[in-house]
Structure 1
Amino acid sequence: MELYIKSWAIWMPSPSNKDNANSGAAMQPQLNQVPAMTRRRLSKLTKLAFDVALQASAEQSSGQLPTVFASRHGDLHKTLQLLQQLGRQEELSPSQFALSVHNAISGQFSMYSQNQADSNAIAAGADTLHYAVLEAAARFSSEPDLTQLLVVYADEPVPEPYQQFCQDPSMPIALALLLHRSEGQLVQFIMQSNAASQAESDQAFKLVPFLQGEQNQLELAGHLRQWLWRKVS
């Protein structure tokens, strides 16, 4: 498959802030372009997704920009709070429940940006980012009139009670790719079956050198898959 990356944006902790990356003191996007009342309602994960989505689509008319929002865990911190409230037999807030579901960020971004185009929400384990890109590639193949599509991936380390089961990602991260049918950097995106392959962690972090131009080719191990990115001159 061939794709064009028209623009991209990433948020991840700065080197000086990595020790506090998983704490409440960690740096978060300022999102000064978002009204304060709206900004206060956004969880940290939602702020990360908003930040990269707005950067990558800054020069686009977002009113009709199809999107794919992807997250391995979603807003699991919010879900844990709801589960703990259930355990204490407390009444749940309908609004908090609505904001905990996996497509909540997609809905919030659509409302803020007044984007009336379709949007999907994807979760696919350690390979979530790659399956979101695969979804975009499939849509370009099956929809001849589709010009561009915004892929947004955001994740945080899971809450402490779940750390024994999963340590991916190791730090908060968000990445947005504005993919286009014919404009931008042309790349080959290849998925190969590999029955012995075990998924690498922090796949989004490992994609950054490729996006920054430090690598022309990148291969990552997925779950029973190999993912290959190759730039085309």
Structure 2
Amino acid sequence: MIHFNIDQWRAWAPGLDSADDWVRWSRSPWQPPAGDEQPDVGFLPAMQRRRLSRLARMAFHVAWPLAEGQPPLPLVFASRHGETPRTFAILGELARGEPLSPTQFSLSVHNAIIGLWSILRGDTSEMTAIAAEGDGLEHAVLEAAALLAEGAPAVLLVIAEEQPPAAYADWVDDVPFPYAVGLRLTAGRDWQLSCSSGAATESSAAWPHALDFILTLLRDAAQCQHQWKTRVWNWQRNP
């Protein structure tokens, strides 16, 4: 069991950005519209913005305000599928016998986003990129808790997923729309997270778990539970 505080959070999905947007969504959740909407990253120089995929833009959009005015902070980035659209484009170039772009390849790897974050913020704090299964949020919290236990004053946690290309539809069914969630975690006992074992089951959640957790926050729920395969994660808000 681990304990921590959630000092601040942000989230983004198409049509959902401000705190008021998410409050309205929490009252009666709906499926955001499909499209090419991009989150605003106007705080970055134009030349740097052009290099960012939508996944990277989502991560920067939710994390940047959480880092403003703070000392250098460790960052934990979690994504199950990562830069799937960029990787798919590279595979297409290979299939057509076209030369590959070194820049595109370097930005397709799973830790590219934390590398860009470190460069653009000039932050050399410890940073981790993880590719977990459907309980990536929980594994990211475990990683963040370990950093807090080592003395970090706070840890940024970002979980983001981009909608994969249609060619992956038969294999990737857990990203109904692109989204990102950012949390700034600090040491404390407001929340506790524990894991137990249960019978294997298929996930039947209406929304990605990171957004289900945003619902928990916005509805001031005392607890929530998330099961992935045989792992049963229990979130408890302490009074």
Q: Normalising by the residue count of structure 1, what TM-score does the alignment of the two structures yield? A: 0.89
- Deviation readout 1:12-42 (Å, 9 max, x if unpaired): 2227995643x32xx2212221111111111
Which whole-Å CA distance do the structure 2 matches of 1:85 and 1:10 have between them?
A: 33
1:152 alignment counterpart: 158
The amino acid of 1:138's aligned partner reads: A
Identify the range of structure 1 (11-20 vs 33-42) with the bigger mean alpha-carbon deviation: 11-20
Change (3 A) 1:78 1:34: same
Q: 2:191 aligns with which of 168, 187, 197?
A: 187
How much has 1:157 moved relative to structure 2?
Answer: 2.0
The one of 188, 198, 208 aligned to 2:202: 198
Quick one: which of 21, 29, 47 aligns to 2:57?
47
- In structure 2, the CA distance between the partners of 1:154 and 1:65, relative to structure 1 (3 Å rule), is same
What displacement does 1:59 show?
3.2
Indicate yes or no: 2:224 matched with 1:218.
yes
Structure 2 counterpart of 1:161, from 143, 156, 167: 167
Q: Equivalents in 2 of 1:198, 1:181: separation in Å?
A: 33
* Separation (CA, whole Å) in 1 of partners of 2:48 and 2:148: 33
Q: Shift in Å at residue 115 of structure 1?
A: 0.8
Gaps of 5+ in 1: none
Q: CA deviation at 1:67?
A: 0.7
What secondary structure is seen at the aligned counterpart in 1 of 2:200?
coil
Tell whether 2:96 aligns with 1:88.
yes
Q: Is the 8 A contact 1:45 1:155 kept in 2?
A: yes
CA distance in 2, matches of 1:173, 1:199: 19
5 Å-filtered alignment, 1:28-177, equals 28-61=38-71, 64-141=72-149, 143=150, 145-177=151-183
Query: Does structure 1 residue 12 correspond to structure 2 residue 18?
Result: no
Aligned-residue RMSD, C-alpha? 1.9
CA distance in 2 between counterparts of 1:56 and 1:230 reads: 23
Deviations 1:111-158 (A, max 9, x none): 1111110111001121112211121123334x2x22211111110222
Residue of structure 1 equivalent to 2:24 = none
Q: Which amino acid aligns with 1:156?
A: E
Determine which of 209, 220, 225 is the counterpart of 2:215.
209
Question: 1:18 & 1:219 partners in 2: Cα distance?
Answer: 22
Tell me by how many angstroms 1:171 deviates: 0.9
Cα 1:199–1:140 change in 2 (3 A) is: farther
3-state secondary structure, aligned to 1:147: coil
* Runs (5+) with no aligned partner, structure 2: 22-29
SS in 2 for 1:37: helix
Q: In the alignment, is the contact (CA less than 8 A) between 2:15 and 2:32 conserved in 1?
A: no
Q: Is the 8 A contact 2:15 2:33 kept in 1?
A: no
Aligned length in residues = 224
Q: Distance in 2 between matches of 1:150 and 1:223?
A: 27
Give % identity.
38
Query: What secondary structure does 1:170 align onto?
Result: coil
Following the alignment from structure 1 to structure 2, what is the Cα–Cα distance between the partners of residues 97 and 40?
15
